[in-house]
Structure formats: C-alpha cells, structure tokens
Amino acid sequence: MFPASFGYQAARSVEEALELLTKYGEDAKLLAGGHSLIPAMKLRLASPRYLIDIGRVPGLSGIRIDGDTLAIGALTVHADIVHSDLVRERVPGLSDAAGVIGDVQVRNRGTIGGSVAHADPAADFPVILTALAASFVAVSPSGRRTISVDDFFVDFYTTALAPNEVLTEIRLPLPPSSAGTAYHKMAHPASGYVVVSAGALLNRDSSGRCASARIAIGGLGSGPLRAKAAEAALQGKSLAAEIIAAAAAKAGDGANADDDFYASAEYKLHMATVLARRAMEQANQRASKKPALS
C-alpha cells in the first residue's frame, strides 16, 4: 500500500518549516515521526500535496523542567517519555499513558507533538494532557503563542493550530508533591486505540481532602472530555473509596457515546465510570504516598 504522490522537503529549522508552510499553505502538512500521518496516507485517507518533514529539526526533542513546568519537546518520542525517570517520578500518569500507546515500535518512532496535532479521538495523549492541564506552544511567522488544552482539541482530528503554525512544545504544570496522577485505558483488542480511557490529577490538601481534581475521559466523543461533574463531586471532600466511587459515577455525565460494532454506548459510558474510578483511586494512592506539603 502506497501513499499518493506528494512533494517533500526536510526542514532544517523551525524557521525553515514556517517558511515552507507559508509558501504552500493549506496544501502542506508537517511530518514528524509520521506515525499518525503515514498510516492515513497509506490508506489514502489523507493525501497532502506537500509534506514538510520537521523530524530532524534540532532542539524540538527532550524533556526538561522549566521552573514549575514540565516542558516536553514536540518531537519527543513516546518511548522517551515512558522511560524518563523525571516523568515517572513527577507525572506517572503521563508515563502510564505514553506506555500504552500502540506498541514498542510505534512508541520508538511516534512523537507526542505528532500525536496531539493529529487529534485522534481514540488517542491517549489528549486525554491525559487534558487531565494534566497541559498547554501547547505554537510558533508561526507572527510569533509564538500558548494554547490551553481546554482550547486545543476542537473536534475530530481538528486542533486549534493554524495551518501556518508549528507545534514546538507541550508544557504542563508540575503536579505538587501533594498530587497524584494516573491513566487507565480499555484498548480495542485489534487496533490498540482507546475504547474508553480516563486520566486523573488529584491534589490533596494537608488534611488529605481533595484540594483540586481534573478528570478527563477519552473515547466518548470528538475529543477528550473534562468530567466536570466528577471533579466537582470531589472538591473539598475526603478521598475515601466511596466518595471516589460516587464521583466516578458521574464521569460520563453529559457525554454522548456512540454504539460501534465493538461496544455499545451504554458499555462505554459504564466503562468511563469504572476507569475514572480506577484512575482516581490510583492517583489518590500516589498522592498519599508522598508527604503532603505543609
């Protein structure tokens, strides 16, 4: 199987990529690892006229701490996130999510930037990054801007990125040591994509109550959903199992799941509550293992 013919240019810098994007406009697509785009091109579901390869642009890869923010270069491959001690210690939920994407080979090649820019509603990163309140740094000829995750995922395969923007970095506030993160997924047995998934960030106050919570659900719509009713149900509460379960029961509130040939909408909504509970419980455990900040 072969992609339709296209024009190709490898950019050596972000500036050069922007120049090419400006020149070719909406006919051009950026290529990073290619693990979202190339499969679609092979099936001829996508046939961009031009590909601008930013895969070897220096400086867009790597994981670092920038003040109270974790900054992940857009070209960082999933495997590097999985194996990062920094991520595992500080944001294990992100590590969990990166570790269940595709398979070993896909994680060795696919990039976080490529994944989020593709905005597949069955992808993992959008869900956990929603829970983690991430933001996205985009550079265009007119400058750079930061897009909040709540604004970034617009629709099926659609983000807030403009056609002339390059996503360079994913940033997320480092959860305090009083917080825990987790990600749970039910994968489709064939594709490995999300049937339903849940990401959680729980922050405990000094008394062990929930100071703040962000819960995101994947698989129920055109993109990651904030489970705001579940979040609200935890706010200020003790994180006892029954409180978490009651909050998790609201994880699918307001969502419109669809039946598909693998799972019914009813099952997906049910699994949203199960996975949300599991993610919250694990996040809470992880939070409680750390000494609370006074």
Could you tell me which of 159, 130, 152, 148 has the C-alpha nearest to residue 228? 130
State the minimum distance, in angstroms, from the CB of residue 58 to another protein.
13
Residue nearer to another protein on the CB measure, 101 or 149: 101
Q: Report the C-alpha gap between 138 and 82 in whole angstroms.
A: 24
**Minimum distance of another protein from residue 49's CB (angstroms):** 9
Nearer to another protein, 35 or 171 (CB): 35
Question: 19 or 253: whose CB is closer to another protein?
Answer: 19
Q: Give me 239's structure tokens.
A: 């994180």
d(CA 281, CA 102) in angstroms, rounded, equals: 25
Q: 107 vs 87, 114, 218, 290, CA distance in Å?
A: 16, 12, 19, 29
Least separation, in Å, of the C-beta of 240 and another protein?
19
Looking at beta carbons only, is 181 or 273 nearer to another protein?
A: 273
Angle (nearest 5°) at CA 118 between 266 and 159: 85
CB of 127 to another protein, least distance (A): 18
Which residues of the chain form contacts with another protein (CB under 8 A)? 1-11, 16, 19-20, 23-24, 31, 34-35, 38-39, 41-44, 50-51, 53, 55-56, 79, 102-106, 108-109, 186, 188-193, 261-264, 266-267, 270-271, 274
Q: What is the dihedral of CA 265, 267, 273, 274, to 10 degrees?
A: -150
Q: How far is the CB of 200 from another protein (least distance, A)?
A: 18
Q: In terms of CB distance, is 12 or 151 closer to another protein?
A: 12
Residue 263 vs residues 182, 188, 253: alpha-carbon distances, Å: 24, 9, 18
